[in-house]
């Protein structure tokens, strides 16, 4: 009888969790709309709408009845439930405890300023005026420090912000990993720069029809498994994957007529995110257990497809004819090796989203070190452009000539997403480690890629990562899948071997 009562309480909890998930989905669609099709004149009202909805979500998240249900389940009968049910209960408890610590007014102010901040940032970036965005950035940092004191009083403020994206990750973990990457990659970047190999890339530059780019991207995203019955693709200033549910996944890219590779790999990258969302645990899509584990794991899926698969020689082999058919005026007569080498060109660049896989981690380390300094107050917002440019020169040997190609290039800070950037390079490391294990688990992956057989790859990712949801911690998931916890050597060795061959190092 006691068990039946507890199951009834659990059912009540599930109904509340599903409602929160669906309201969060509405917020996701509002965010997508803001980024993709919302009229500019609606910006102020949209920020108020999102603040109002954030307030509703917060009130429902801290409802006393919600907390009573959670506590009764945790205190009196957690052993009566399955692994999946236990995960839902513990996730609900963690979220409830987090939400009840934060005043509603703070939640709303962060939501409103994050929405308004996007428009302020976009205008400042367009006009190359960091000083116009600086006051907003200062206020966001202040609010996120305040939020950290409420939410994780025992953590350093920046660690608290990192934890939202990478649960359990701390500066004490990240700093030595990033120091190891700096030690290995700065000399590799210098060696590539000194190499006598000059890769021919002129055939990737020209006038490429945007309509043809859209068709090409859609074809390849379909081939690797993105379900357009449960998703769509659009354009935005900053490519992203969003939406409101696994049945409504929205991916975006951006197009430039002079370069089709950027948009194509943007599509493949966001498709990787989309496949994670579409591949979530069946039967529990509106519950915490099915949600993605961390942003680093999410990013591992996008980078897995973009770098491990699409920047692979065998992928180029399969699609080269389609590329030539789509853009014959530029690609006719281009050899497989020439194309493969060209898309893997490595050279320092100012813009993070355009960086190659060797130099990209330095963009992330730069941002991590700056965020760390902003939160411990060793770096001031006022001096940010100079600090940014100095680090860019130290790590990549180039110096931005404007704030738009420097400190203003990323959207993340305008939304208060501090602690997010490390996820990108963590994701690259996870992707390498997962790929190495998949090569052992599935016979002749290169042949499958070269023949366009991507279904077995998608299936492996579905079964090992996407469908696991939040049942395991990140460390436990990586250990379970690969046999060891995160090991940066997989990533370092991959880059040294691949680019050593391309550049004859």
The set of catalytic residues is 270
CA dist list (Å): 381 to 176, 204, 386, 407, 410: 25, 38, 10, 11, 15
The closest alpha carbon to 403, from 128, 131, 118, 119, belongs to 128
Which helix (H) or strand (E) is 250 found in, with range? strand 248-253
For residues 231 and 237, what is the distance between their CA atoms, to the nearest angstrom?
A: 19
**If DSSP codes are grouped into helix, strand and coil, which group holds residue 344?**
coil
d(CA 467, CA 292): 9
CA dihedral 301, 307, 308, 310 (to 10 degrees): 100
Label the pairing between strands 248-253 and 241-245: antiparallel
How would you label 224-251 residue by residue, b for 16+ Cβ within 10 Å and e otherwise?
A: bbbeeeebbbeebebbbbbbbbbebbbb
Question: Going edge to edge, which strands form the sheet with 248-253?
Answer: 231-235, 248-253, 241-245
Which residue matches tokens 């409602």? Answer: 19
- 382, 430 contact by CB (below 8 A): no
């Amino acid at each position: 009888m006691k068990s039946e009562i507890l199951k009834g309480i659990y059912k009540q909890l599930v109904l509340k969790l599903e409602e929160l998930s669906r309201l969060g989905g509405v917020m996701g669609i509002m965010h997508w709309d803001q980024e993709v099709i919302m009229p500019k004149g609606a910006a102020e009202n949209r920020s108020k709408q999102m603040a109002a909805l954030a307030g509703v979500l917060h009130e429902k998240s801290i409802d006393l009845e919600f907390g009573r249900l959670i506590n009764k389940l945790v205190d009196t009968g957690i052993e009566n439930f399955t692994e999946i049910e236990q995960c839902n209960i513990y996730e609900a408890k963690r979220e409830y405890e987090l939400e009840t610590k934060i005043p509603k007014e703070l939640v709303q102010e962060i939501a409103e300023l994050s929405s308004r901040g996007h428009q302020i940032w976009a205008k400042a970036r367009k006009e190359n005026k960091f000083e116009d965005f600086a006051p907003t950035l200062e206020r966001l940092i202040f609010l996120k420090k305040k939020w950290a004191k409420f939410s994780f009083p025992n953590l350093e403020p920046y660690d608290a912000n990192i934890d939202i994206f990478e649960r359990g990750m701390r500066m004490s973990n990240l700093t030595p990993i990033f120091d190891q990457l700096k030690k290995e990659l700065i000399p590799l970047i210098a060696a590539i720069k000194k190499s006598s190999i000059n890769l021919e890339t002129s055939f990737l530059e020209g006038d490429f029809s945007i309509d043809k780019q859209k068709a090409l991207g859609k074809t390849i995203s379909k081939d690797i498994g993105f379900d357009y019955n449960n998703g769509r693709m659009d354009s935005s200033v900053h490519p992203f994957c969003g939406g409101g549910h696994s049945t409504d996944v929205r991916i975006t890219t951006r197009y430039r007529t002079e370069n089709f590779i950027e948009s194509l790999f943007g599509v493949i990258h966001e498709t990787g995110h989309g496949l994670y969302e579409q591949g979530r645990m069946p039967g529990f899509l509106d519950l915490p257990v099915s949600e993605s584990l961390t942003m680093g794991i999410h990013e591992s899926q996008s980078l897995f497809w973009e770098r491990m698969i699409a920047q692979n020689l065998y992928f180029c082999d399969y699609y080269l004819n389609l590329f030539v058919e789509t853009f014959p005026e530029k690609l006719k007569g281009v050899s497989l090796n020439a194309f493969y080498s060209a898309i893997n060109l490595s050279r320092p660049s100012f813009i993070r989203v355009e960086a190659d896989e060797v130099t990209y981690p330095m963009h992330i380390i730069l941002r991590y070190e700056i965020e760390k300094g902003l939160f411990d107050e060793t770096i001031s917002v006022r001096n940010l452009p100079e600090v940014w440019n100095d680090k860019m020169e130290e790590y990549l040997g180039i110096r931005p000539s404007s704030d738009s190609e420097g400190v203003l290039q990323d959207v993340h800070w305008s939304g208060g997403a501090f602690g997010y950037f490390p996820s990108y390079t963590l994701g690259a490391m996870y992707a390498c480690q997962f790929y190495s294990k998949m090569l052992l688990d599935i016979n002749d992956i290169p042949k499958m890629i070269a023949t366009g057989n991507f279904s077995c790859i998608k299936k492996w990712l579905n079964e090992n990562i996407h469908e696991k949801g939040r049942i395991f911690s990140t460390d436990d998931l990586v250990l379970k899948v690969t046999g060891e916890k995160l090991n940066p050597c997989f990533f370092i060795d991959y880059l040294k071997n691949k680019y050593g061959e391309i550049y004859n190092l």
